[in-house]
Structure formats: C-alpha cells, structure tokens
Amino acid sequence: MYCDECGLPRGVGKANEWKPNGTIVSRYEADLRGVFVDAGELGHLVSSLSDRMGYDVSRLVTEGKRKDSAHYARGLIERMRNSGSALPEAGDFMRMMAANYAVPGFGKVTILDFRDDGSVVLDMEGAYNLPMALGQTAGVYEAVLGTRGDVDYEGDEKQSRVIILPREGNPELERRIESEVEQAPTLSDEGDAEYKACPRCSAPLELSRALDWKVEDSLIVEKRSGRRFVFDNVRGLTAVMRLLVDELGEDVERMLAEIARDYARAYYSDMGKGISFQDESSRMALFGWGLPAGLEKSGEGFTLRLINPFYGPLMAGRIWGLVETLGENELELGEYDWSETAVAQVTLTAA
Ligand SMILES: [Zn+2]
C-alpha cells in the first residue's frame, strides 16, 4: 500500500501530477484537480459563517458537496461502462466508494443496510467534516440509483449513523444546476513550483516530509502542525462555496476571505518564528492551493497575484493572515479581483 522509498500511499504519485503552476492534476481525468484541505479550517468555516449569518449553513454545505459528488460518481460509472467492464451492483458500488474514502482521509464509512425501499443505512466514523461527508454520500447514492436522496443522521463527526431516503425530484432541473459544477475552470500556465520527485512513486518527496498519511486510519496529518488534512478535489470545494454565495449573497465571498484570514493567523502564529513567505508559498503549491506571486510592497501595504487559487476568497484570506503574521501587524483587504479562476489580484492595505 505504501511506497518503499518515501512512505506515501503508492497510488498518490501514480494518479496525480504536481504542476509548476501550483496545481495538482489527476493523470486519469484532466479536469480533476486535487487539493489538500485542512479539515479544521472547514469546520471553522462552517461554524464562523453560520455565526455571522445567524443561520446554520450546514445544509447548504451538504447540498453543494452533493452536486459535486454526484458528478464525480457519475463520471466514474461512465468510465467503467465505456471500458466494457461489468458494472457492480448498486450496493457493491457504494461499498467500493466507501472503501475508497480511506485514501483521501475522509473517515471510515461502513454500509450497513441496503433496503428494498431504496434507502441505505451507513455508519460514519471520524468524518473530516460532517456536512461535507453527508453531501458526499448523498451524491454517490444519487449517481448509483439515479434518484435524489435525502440524508438524515444521528451523532456527530466522531461517530454517526446515517440514513439516505429516496426522494422524488426533477432530475432535468437538477442537471441544469449541476452543469455549472461540471464546467472545467481555466488555469494559468504561469509558475515555477518545482519538487524533487520520489524515484519510485513520483510523488514529491517534500509531500512525504510534510504529511503523515495513514490509510488504515483514514487519516492524513500535517506533521508540523498536527492538524488533520484531507485530499479533496477543487471542484467540490468550489461547488460548496458557490452554492453558499448563490444562496446567501455576494457579501459571503468577502466574509469567507475574512474567516480564512482569522484561521490563517491562528495557524501561522502556532508555527512560531522561522516561517517565511517563500517557504509558505511553496507549501501552498505543494498542497495544490495555487501559487502566490509578485508580492510587492505598495505604500504601507502589499499587492500580489494568486495564480490558480483553489478558491479566490479562501486563498486571499490565507495570504492575508500569513502576511499579517509575518509582519506582526494588522492589514485590511483592499482592492481585489478574484473573478477569474486563473489569476486573482489582491491588495492588502494598512489598517
Ligand atoms: Zn515514493
């Protein structure tokens, strides 16, 4: 299961390519872009946004993730069909997907019962983020059974019992909404991120030094911070963020940047002295977040570009918190433009 040379799960380097432009791209599906996400940051994001809105956004997060997960699972089924191999039974397919969750560190999922009425009962243990994990499961269900599923659960992230019930819906309408998720984002070719590849599995050696990756525990831990990470896909995160903005309004983008900034300040402060903009930028690219570039002092503040940010507002917030921590001062988010997926512009000004 693990590479003899670097210790990472063997499939990781085989399935993914680390590009100089700060992205990790699947070797099997060109539009699929991977990203290492701090699970604690996701939780912080859901709770902070809920606090600010005075409304629990968990359901929206589940809904956004469901769209992406259904799209992903449908693609997988399509590829199996095209390859001429026999499609597994619905229950077996769900069990196969559940087993696959261990590698990206999503937690342990056990399918308990596949009932005649089309409902599915499962256990989740150590979910990285419950609203996201529920959406993921509902999406797989939908792809396999061709019908929407309503998720209900008891418990928490540590341990929960989940039931998915079939629901009548309008698949045509759903599909139209989802077509937005399916559009491949434009990427920039700019960038000079470079890693020494493991001679055996071709994953960056730097990655094996950064992460403690235990497939048997369905857990990825960043060594230096002890924080849990998951290897998710950019499209899924974007689908969630986009749905939040669609439902709650444009102001949410800026809020997400502010929430990411708060998290980043706490994170980088914990790292203590000795961190640098250069090293942290390089780690961002290693994790597939995109590549910060052209940092320049501008008056009392800074300007910079973000090449291929995994999601503009979150990446901008991350950089904002990093620059503040390095300079030990407070900055404001000045002018910004994160409307393009390929390059975002950010200005940080004196507070
Ligand atoms: Zn290796």
In order of start, what are the domains of the chain with their CATH numbers? 62-182 (3.30.1380), 250-350 (3.30.1380.20)
pLDDT of residue 172: 56
Which of these, 272, 273, 258, lies nearest to 320 by C-alpha position? 258
pLDDT at 31: 84
Cα gap 328→330, rounded to integer Å: 7
Instruction: Compute the distance from residue 23 Cα to the ligand 1 centre, in Å.
Output: 19
- Going by C-alpha positions, the residue among 74, 59, 62, 61 that lies closest to residue 171 is 74
Residue list, CB under 5 A from ion ligand 1: 3, 5-6, 198, 200-201
The three-state secondary structure class of 305 is strand
**328 HSE (CA, 13 A, CB side):** 3
229 CA from centroid of ligand 1 (Å) = 19
Q: What are the two backbone dihedrals, phi and then psi, of residue 204, each rounded to the nearest 5 degrees?
A: -60, 135
pLDDT in tens, 134-155: 999 999 999 999 889 999 999 9
Mean pLDDT across the chain: 93
Compute, in angstroms, the gap from residue 42 CA to the centroid of ligand 1: 28
Does residue 113 surpass a pLDDT of 60?
yes
Contact 201, 6 (CB under 8 A): yes
- pLDDT higher than 60, residue 173: no
Q: How confident is the model at residue 167 (pLDDT cuts 50, 70, 90)?
A: confident
| Confidence at residue 219, expressed as pLDDT on a 0 to 100 scale | 96
pLDDT score recorded for residue 285: 97
Q: pLDDT digit string (tens) for 232-288?
A: 999 989 989 988 998 999 999 999 999 999 999 999 999 988 999 999 999 999 999
What pLDDT shows up at residue 181? 62
pLDDT value of residue 182: 65
Sign of CA dihedral 63, 68, 71, 74: negative
Give per-residue pLDDT as tens, 285-298.
Answer: 999 999 999 999 98
What spacing in Å lies between the alpha carbon of 165 and ligand 1's midpoint?
42
Cα of 206 to ligand 1 centre, how many Å?
Answer: 10
> How confident is the model at residue 170, as a pLDDT?
60
pLDDT above 90 coverage of the chain, percent: 81
Ligand 1 centroid distance, CA of 12 (Å): 9
Tell me what the mean pLDDT of segment 27-54 comes to: 95
